[in-house]
Amino acid sequence: TLANKTAIVTGSNSGIGLGVARELAKAGANVVLNSFTDREEDHALAAGIAEEFGVEARYIKADMSKGDECRQLIKDAGGCDILVNNAGIQHVAPIDQFPVDKWDAIIAINMNSVFHTTAAALPFMRERGWGRVVNIASAHGLTASPYKAAYIAAKHGVVGMSKTVALETAQEPITCNAICPGYVLTPLVEAQIPDTMKEYNMSRDEVVKNVMLTRQPSKEFATVEQLGGTTVFLCSDAAAQITGTTISVDGGWTAL
């Protein structure tokens, strides 16, 4: 159980981040949700988790594209035992047409934020004598696809950074790993299905299996609950010697 542990999950007002925060709360952790907005519904998500799982839950606004806000998030939370770096965005374009502002935003949010939050969180973990850093990378942290230069550079960077942090904390009760999801059914992905069905005149099943999951041999999406469960495992005693590595949750993608 993760009772009396505090977990900060960046980018957690939807999708994988929210799923991970919910599973951590289910395992007894107090959770800090985050995104760059400050809406009533963001705070309501935290209140809902507190009520459902009987833990403390807060929402703290911080823009992960800005280094100082990344560091402030950790300070505002009073530090943490578990840091899940999940915030991420995507943009798809050939490299010679890749908008510079999109490149900068993806590198900032998907990679640089991991540097800033980890740097700010480690002193608190050392003080508490225990820590877990879990970085949500991607199958694209281990393999490539065309037109995703920024995302793939950032995710490979996160995988590399995870190894370095693991080495720097190797003799302390702190671990750092990256989870590499394949295609995960989040609201963002779900929303693309109807349009793609129309575009290709395909059934939902055909779109999922023949368009979206071409590289996922299981032909099934991973779920946010499975990502959350993998995170909880990395926070368990069984995983105390697992550090500096990646865990793929990708239905066999990286085995191909």
Binding site for ligand NAD (CB under 6 A): 11-17, 35-36, 63-65, 86-89, 109-110, 136, 138, 181, 183-184, 186, 188-189
Which is nearer to ligand NAD, 50 or 89 (by Cβ)?
89
Task: Identify the residue whose tokens are 């909880």.
Answer: 232
| Nearest CB to ligand NAD, comparing residues 67 and 128 | 67
Identify whether the C-beta of residue 141 lies closer than 8 Å to the C-beta of residue 159.
yes
For the chain, the straight-line distance linking the first and the last C-alpha, in angstroms and rounded, comes to 36
Minimum separation from the CB atom of position 110 to ligand NAD (A): 6
Q: Are strands 246-249 and 6-9 parallel, antiparallel or unpaired?
A: unpaired
What one-character DSSP code corresponds to residue 241?
A: T
Q: Taking the complex as a whole, how short is the minimal distance between the CB of residue 46 and ligand NAD, in angstroms? A: 13
Assess contact for 143 and 134: CB atoms under 8 A. Answer: no
Task: Write down the least CB distance from residue 108 to ligand NAD, Å.
Answer: 8
SS3 234: helix
Give me the phi and psi of 107, to 5 degrees please. -65, -40
Closest CA to 227 of 186, 167, 187: 186
Nearest CB to ligand NAD, comparing residues 238 and 255: 255
Secondary structure of 29-98 as H, E, C letters: CEEEEEECCCCHHHHHHHHHHHHHHCCCEEEEECCCCCHHHHHHHHHHCCCCCEEEECCCCCCCCCHHHC
Is 183 labeled as catalytic in the residue annotation? no
The active-site residue, picked from 59, 151, 183, 200, is 151
Contact 156, 149 (CB under 8 A): no
Residue 162 CB, nearest approach to ligand NAD (Å): 13
CB closer to ligand NAD out of 189 and 202: 189
What is the smallest separation between the CB atom of 28 and ligand NAD, expressed in angstroms? 23
Residue with Cβ nearer ligand NAD (65 or 230): 65
Residue positions annotated with a catalytic role: 151
